[in-house]
Structure 1
Amino acid sequence: MSATFLYGQNEFVNGVRIHYLRYGGKGHPLILIPGITSPAITWEFVAERLGQVFDTYVLDVRGRGLSSSGPEHDYGTDVCAQDIVSFVQKLGLKEYSLMGHSMGARFAIRANELSNQGLTQLFLIDPPVSGPERRAYPSKLPWYVDSIQQAIQGMNSEDMKVFCPTWTEAQLQLRAEWLHTCYLPAIIQAFDDFHTYDIHQYISHIQVPTLLMVAGKGGVILPEDEQEIQQSNPNIQVKHVPQAGHMIPWDDLEGFFTVLGEYLGQKFN
């Protein structure tokens, strides 16, 4: 894998097995929560650079990757956020930061509400701002369902290019290899929660320094959404990656690390 990769491991927390990958091993602990159909391994190209600065833990959210899956489990926002809190407690982390992309950012917001003991900062990467009586999330459920069903049958990078035409060959290969591990009912529950779960009610309660990273070409967070969020919590700093769509590191990796580095006052090689 990468020079900063240490190992993969499993922990039993909140009644399920949570698998994670660890990078770096030194510095401030950072827990990374991927998006709706992104197993931990698909963030390897980002985590290897985060591991230069942070002691980085990338989680397989339940119902994805090598974490627990199946019909016996709940996949709602509340229980997935509790998984994060329980993971922190299981590892005995005294201080840590949370970075979440898309769905993972919503889980990070909810986790902060459940328990912010030891939490020092939040990095919210283009979270869906949809919810009850709000504008719908721009992606459509069939895009997820169709790609997962094809992955379950078997697909290669060329097949995946139909769904992700701008990605690199390596990114396409990883997604094609691992997408079948995304348990479809878990994905449907998460997508439904984008529209039925009000994550905005918790934004004003965030007290730690927070970066909201917005994709310039994503269409997920619009200027009026930024205005609403900053009115709700003036301590949240908004930064843009102009050339990126919603999958910011996939679309503009250097732009992602430029924004993150400027915010932190830290250079990533």
Structure 2
Amino acid sequence: MKLYSKIIGKGKPFLILHGFLGMGDNWKTLGKEFSDEGYEVHLVDQRNHGRSPHTEDFGYDVMAEDIKEYCEEKNLQDIILLGHSMGGKTAMKVATNYPDLVHNLIVVDIAPKYYEPHHQTILEGLTMLQNSDLDSRGLADEKLEEYISEWGVRQFLLKNLYWKEKGKLALRMNLEVLKEKVEHVGKALNEEDTFHKDTLFVSAGSSNYIRKEDRELIKSHFPKSNTVIIKDAGHWVHAEKPEDFFQIIMAFIHKFS
């Protein structure tokens, strides 16, 4: 599986994995900031997302293997690995399945527990877009608003639009497979999955993805982990509080580099 990525800067390899229905490009602003600190930042599109290949296979073991193969292809070792939401679950699996590959792990607003499917309305809205004749992003936003009221969430999703041909917009993601296998997104880590290197969990204070009662489970899988809460931030914490987020990540990296 040859994943698509954008690589920014030079230095120690720093891979960033986006969330469900996202793409590496969602992280380009923060990626540039990290690269300015002396890191080679890889903004990776995971399979069935962005410009990476579409496939019937979808799940955390295969996505973790994708990242291992990507690192082998690029000759990357001792990486800093950051993942948000679904990307955080992928990052956990990379770290637990291939611990020698990962120097530090950063998991953003997701716990290693099971989550029930909760993207149904978003997937319905995207299905409607896929089945519509769209000739402008404004029209797409207008139609999507019927399903999703939050402007920021719509803008995040609309980044998936591209000009398939003159006057016709389409979605980059493999929507059919993502709908069919959405239950894989909420899958918990296996009980035996552990990673014994320094790990940071970033929790969004206004989100319920990581709860206080999840701390014990996190420690059981990641005994050398700490959890930091960014107050007054929702699930897209890195977009809502970018300065706070950047400072927290850099403090963690510098402490354990």
Shift of 1:121: 0.5
Shift of 1:44: 1.5
C-alpha contact (below 8 Å) 2:13/2:77 kept by paired residues: no
TM-score (norm 1): 0.79
Shift of 1:177: 4.9
Match of 2:32 among 34, 40, 48: 48
1:240-259 equivalences in 2 (<5 Å): 240-259=229-248
State whether structure 2 residue 202 is matched by structure 1 residue 213: yes
* Aligned-residue RMSD, C-alpha: 2.7
Match of 2:219 among 223, 230, 245: 230
C-alpha contact (below 8 Å) 1:80/1:107 kept by paired residues: yes
TM-score (norm 2): 0.82
Distance in 1 separating the partners of 2:195 and 2:239:
28
Distance in 2 separating the partners of 1:242 and 1:225:
18
Do the aligned partners of residues 247 and 230 (structure 1) sit closer, same or farther apart at CA in structure 2, a change above 3 Å counting? same
Match of 1:156 among 137, 140, 144: 137
Shift of 1:237: 1.0
Identical-residue share of aligned pairs (%): 19
SS in structure 2 opposite 1:250? helix
Q: Which runs of 4+ in 1 moved over 4 A?
A: 168-173, 175-179
Shift of 1:183: 1.1
Match of 2:189 among 199, 217, 231: 199
Distance in 2 separating the partners of 1:48 and 1:37:
22
- Structure 1: which 5+ residue stretches go unaligned? 1-15
State whether structure 2 residue 76 is matched by structure 1 residue 93: yes
Do the aligned partners of residues 171 and 37 (structure 1) sit closer, same or farther apart at CA in structure 2, a change above 3 Å counting? closer
2:18 matched residue in structure 1: 34
Distance in 2 separating the partners of 1:189 and 1:126:
24
Distance in 2 separating the partners of 1:121 and 1:231:
17
Amino acid at match of 1:82: E
1:1-269 equivalences in 2 (<5 Å): 16-24=1-9, 26-53=10-37, 54-70=39-55, 73-131=56-114, 136=116, 140-152=118-130, 153=132, 154=134, 156=137, 158-159=141-142, 163=148, 165-167=150-152, 174-177=159-162, 180-188=171-179, 191-195=182-186, 197-199=187-189, 201=191, 203=193, 205-265=194-254
Distance in 2 separating the partners of 1:194 and 1:172:
17
Distance in 1 separating the partners of 2:192 and 2:94:
10
C-alpha contact (below 8 Å) 1:23/1:55 kept by paired residues: yes
C-alpha contact (below 8 Å) 2:22/2:157 kept by paired residues: no
Distance in 1 separating the partners of 2:221 and 2:252:
21
Do the aligned partners of residues 243 and 35 (structure 1) sit closer, same or farther apart at CA in structure 2, a change above 3 Å counting? same
C-alpha contact (below 8 Å) 2:196/2:223 kept by paired residues: no
- Structure 2: which 5+ residue stretches go unaligned? 164-169
